[in-house]
Structure 1
Amino acid sequence: MIDVSLLAAADLTWAMARHLIDREAPGHVVNVGSRGAFRGEPEYPAYGASKAALHAFGQSMAAALAPHRISVTAVAPGFIATERQTPQLAGPRGDELRSQSPFGRVGTPEKVAAAVHYLASSETTSGAVRRTAAWRAAGRVRPDGRSPGRKALPARLCQVRDETADRL
């Protein structure tokens, strides 16, 4: 759970930051967290904890990357209607799941994608975790972050990369 929900995002953030910083280009990182990071997931505690860590990581990276004109945000969707969740929505828990939203419905993958697209294509506040009412809601490098002819990454970002590299 930690590998997918947190460490993969940390590694991808590092790779994207390296790419953008080398080119002195602005950019956006959007992580996909979960409402479970804020309310807990009693049936899946590792999932809730990993998503809470992802949100905290994103806020830290937002501060570290802002001087490079790279925003870091996240979406935190609630229950999403996917093929895997169809039995739950059709079963006895369906009404309870829909009632968790003020609109009386669950989110869709398309709504999550639209939120990610918006955050990745606009000038938004970096470090924010976006929750919407509809679904309760983002070449070779040395360890010091340098490559031949390239500037170093911020020290904090190198530390994240070093801490995650062995786990990936």
Structure 2
Amino acid sequence: MRAGISLKDKVAVVTGASSGLGEQFALVLSEAGARVALAARRTDRLEALAGRIRSAGGEAITVRLDVNDQANIEAAFAEISAKLGGVDILVNNSGVSRQARITDTTPDDFDFVMNTNVKGAFFVAQAAAKDMIARKVPGRIINIASVAGLRVLSQLSVYCMSKAAVVQMTKAMALEWARYGINTNAICPGYIETEINRDHWATPGGQKLIAMLPRRRVGEPKDLDGTLLLLASDEARFINGAIIAADDGLSVT
């Protein structure tokens, strides 16, 4: 268990847990003592992650979750409630992107990004909040936005729009759900190296981008551990509606 912050007896749901940041978030929360519900469409990857958590002495279940399917969202949270007894922490992490110039962006591209990053995130947070409100427990909702929600990134117009929406969504939820003891905050990561983009950073284009960053480096998933644990814990009881840039200074350049 991580020193300083304990999430013992808390139930945490991590969406998009099958890879990348979601996988790291789930491991960190489990190490801090939380019982973790791993949610994603790729259940084979989830089972492997659950095995790692159990081997380390943690508790994890896997739940198939397609954030674009409202019935599936409701069924997934019902399953989590039945197996773990309700939700205390949601890490709302599912997200997708499409790179294209605005003039080349298709309606399908637009819907693909907005449906997952905005609509899906909204209704997953709604499901978690309904559970918390019904059980009358203080909760923590952590929306994973992006530095792209704070500044414009080239050829990522729809992605930037979607993450800006997540920023405003977070503030609206923080205001509306404060009376129920639910704290809703967002993390805006900068460039983080994951298995999806690892090869890109070694290319000339990737190296050129790194050279333009404030400290000429990209982050690792573990660089978000401290921010995540703080927002998930009781130590964050006075933090609500915060939009935290964890981007190595990129958003202020």
TM-score bracket for the superposition, by shorter chain length: 0.7 to 0.9
Tell me: CA distance 1:77–1:133, structure 2 relative to 1, closer, same or farther (3 Å).
closer
Tell me: CA distance 1:84–1:29, structure 2 relative to 1, closer, same or farther (3 Å).
same
**Residue in structure 2 matched with residue 130 of structure 1 by the alignment:** 244
Q: How much has 1:116 moved relative to structure 2?
A: 2.2
Structure 2 residue 174 is matched with structure 1 residue 73: no
CA contact (8 A) 2:145 2:163 kept: yes
Relative to its length, the structure with more strand (as a share) is: 2
Q: Which 4+ runs in 1 deviate beyond 6 A?
A: none
Q: How much has 1:6 moved relative to structure 2?
A: 1.0
Aligned equivalent of 2:218, options 98, 106, 109:
106
The DSSP-based 3-state class of the residue aligned with 1:131 is: strand
CA contact (8 A) 1:30 1:119 kept: yes
TM-score, normalising length from structure 1? 0.72
**Residue in structure 1 matched with residue 72 of structure 2 by the alignment:** none
Q: How much has 1:119 moved relative to structure 2?
A: 1.1
Q: In the TM superposition, what whole-angstrom CA distance separates every residue of 1:77-121 from its partner, at most 9, and x where no partner exists? A: 111101222232112233443345443321222223442232111
TM-score, normalising length from structure 2? 0.50
Tell me: CA distance 1:90–1:64, structure 2 relative to 1, closer, same or farther (3 Å).
same
Q: How much has 1:135 moved relative to structure 2?
A: 6.5
Letter in 2 for 1:64: E
Q: In the TM superposition, what whole-angstrom CA distance separates every residue of 1:110-151 from its partner, at most 9, and x where no partner exists? A: 2234422321113251111111353757xxxxxxxxxxxxxx
CA contact (8 A) 2:141 2:182 kept: yes
Q: How much has 1:41 moved relative to structure 2?
A: 2.6
**Residue in structure 2 matched with residue 47 of structure 1 by the alignment:** 159
**Residues 15-26 of structure 1: matches in 2 within 5 Å?**
15-26=127-138
State, as a whole percentage, how many aligned pairs show the same letter: 28
**Residue in structure 1 matched with residue 36 of structure 2 by the alignment:** none
- The gaps in structure 2 that reach 5 residues or longer are 1-112
CA contact (8 A) 2:147 2:247 kept: no
Structure 2 residue 228 is matched with structure 1 residue 116: yes
Q: How much has 1:17 moved relative to structure 2?
A: 1.0
- The gaps in structure 1 that reach 5 residues or longer are 138-168
Tell me: CA distance 1:136–1:72, structure 2 relative to 1, closer, same or farther (3 Å).
farther
CA contact (8 A) 1:106 1:135 kept: no
